[in-house]
Structures are given as structure tokens and as C-alpha cells.
Amino acid sequence: MSTTYTIDTSTSRATPVSAPMKRLTVPAIRKRKGADSEPLVMLTAYTVRMAQLMDPHCDMLLVGDSLGQVIYGLPSTVPVTLEMMAGHGAAVVRGSYHALVVVDMPFGSYEASPEKAFESASWLLKQTGAAAVKMEGGEAMADTVRFLVERGIPVMGHVGLTPQAVNVLGGYGARGRSEAEAEKIVGDAKAVAQAGAFAVVVEGVVEPIAVAITDAISCPAIGIGASARCDGQVLVAEDMLGLFDRTPRFVKKFDDLAGRISAAVQAYAGDVRSRAFPGADQIYAPKN
């Protein structure tokens, strides 16, 4: 039986309780392939509370290295460390009981060799309790993907726009506009899928490439800025919730939490300054 966390106002805000539901597994995710399968739902999560809220609705939660920008205000994902990923990964696992939790391998933790990747990935899974890791890169990383999978570490691939390579790519623009680059991206996806990846994220590519990849690989293709034809979709949760003014073109904002939070804080500040808060319901009266 898995464990999740619920609000308990008498103690801490997150207290573990039993949950009568099994987590989705890597084989179960792998089977969700093709137009006849229900598309996979995936969002990023970095904290216990966000994991609690998203878990019932998602098939997978990605502890993305995007936390470098979303949580820490870093200029890119490049400075993110294994220790940062481990802390947030463990929090998301504690806050969920249904979704498969995948943790990003940060830049510099896996590229040097398959052995280095195994050392980093095994440490991450031990520290977090997550089920899988995600690695950016295509054909160049295929041998590493195979090395990890053969040693019991499930791997999600990531091709197309790979944010860790922003210094090489020169920015975050859509990839695959030239025929040569399009062929390379499709080849990259095939290579990591054939190496044993259980799913492949396809990010920031022109739509025909995403469709071609979805049709070409035997595992689910998870789109982000790709195509509705993919086997599933992923977004940064804070982007789709409307917490940031600037978001990528491919993001649909499903709410305006930034506006709602700002309005709530404004109301709070007004009540504090007028001494309307705390009121009778929020203070402790002496016992008779």
C-alpha cells in the first residue's frame, strides 16, 4: 500500500495516511501507446503540496530541472545540482500515491560516461524513492540509456529542444525547421527508444516532426510544444496555472493564479493595515 499526505491542522500540514491505490508503473505507462490509448497526462511538480493537488489527475509527475528557473530564479537549468533534484524529488514522492514520479538528471550528472550516469541515477532513486529518471539527448546518449535500463533503472528520453544544451543551441526556439535537423531529431528519438527508454519527451519541435516520432517509436511520445497527436502531454505546472507573465508560446494558461494570489495578498495587506485582521475568529480568548 502506498502513502500519501493530507492536511492535518492539529499537527503539521502534511501527515501521512494510507491510500488504497497502487502507483502507476513503468510497464503500465509504456503500454499507453497509440491512438486507441487514453493520452498520458504529465505535469511538473517540485513540492509536497503541489504533488498532493496534481496527483489524482496525473499519470506522471516530473520533478523537472526546470525548478532551477521556477523555484530558484536561475537563468537556465544548467546550474541545477543532483542535491537540488534529490530534495525536491523526495518531496514529490512523499506528496503523491498514484502518479509515476520521474526525476530529471541535471546537467553534468550523466554525460561523461554510462558509469557516471548509473552512479548519479542510482543515487537519485535511492534518495527520492522515484521510479525513473529522465535524460536529455538523442543518439549520443543511446548507449547510456541502454546501460541504465539493463541495470534496472527506467529511463525517459528527451529530444528536440533540450534546455540543458541552451548554450550550444543559442536559445529556446523551435527545433527542426531545416530538413537535416528534422531528420536528426527523428533519428534521436528512434535511437533512445530502441535503447530501452519507456517514453520519450518531444519538446519544442515543428509539428510534423512530433507526428513522425510518435508514429516511429514503440514507446509513448510525450509532447511539449509538439502535437496533440503525441501519446501524452507535459507542461510546467506553474506555466499552465498562470503564475508567470512570460511563458513559452506552446503554453495554454488554464488559470490566472498570479492575479488571484496578488488580489488575495492585497486583501490581506489591507486587513492588516486597517487592523481588521486578526479578528475574533483568529485569536485565542482566555478560558474562563
Check whether 134 is labelled as a binding-site residue: yes
**By C-alpha distance, which of 224, 211, 223 is closest to 251?**
224
Instruction: Please report where in the chains the cell 510534423 appears, as a residue.
Output: 208
**pLDDT, position 63:** 98
Look at residue 288 and tell me if it is in a domain: no
In a domain, residue 205? The reply is yes
Q: Is 136 marked within a binding site? A: yes
Per-residue confidence (pLDDT) for residue 133, from 0 to 100:
98
The residue range of the domain holding 149 is 2-282
Residue 241 cell numbers, joined: 496555472
User: Does the residue 167 lie in any domain?
Assistant: yes
Cα–Cα dist 268/133, whole Å:
41
How many alpha carbons lie under 13 Å from residue 53 in its C-beta half-sphere? 11
Domain count, the chain: 1
- Domain annotation covers residue 211: yes
Cα 137 to Cα 258: distance, rounded to the nearest angstrom? 33
Q: How many residues does the chain have?
A: 288
Provide the grid cell at 52: 498532493
8 in a labelled binding site: no
Rounded Cα distance, 121 and 113, in Å: 12
65 known ligand binder: yes
Q: Which residue in this structure is represented by grid cell 525536491?
A: 88
Catalytic residue among 83, 139, 203, 238: 203
Cα 157 to Cα 137: distance, rounded to the nearest angstrom: 7
For every one of its 288 residues, what pLDDT tens digit does the chain have, with 9 covering 90 and above?
344 545 554 445 565 555 556 899 999 999 999 989 999 999 999 999 999 999 999 999 999 999 999 999 999 999 999 999 999 999 999 999 999 999 999 999 999 999 999 999 999 999 999 999 999 999 999 999 999 999 999 999 999 988 776 665 655 567 768 899 899 999 999 999 999 999 999 999 999 999 999 999 999 999 999 999 999 999 999 999 999 998 888 999 999 999 999 999 999 999 999 999 999 999 999 987
- Establish if 184 belongs to a structural domain: yes
pTM for the predicted model, two decimal places: 0.90
**264: amino acid identity, one letter:** A
CATH of the domain at 88: 3.20.20.60
Residue 1: the pLDDT is 38
Within a domain: residue 223?
Answer: yes
Residue 105 DSSP label? P
203 is annotated as an active-site residue: yes
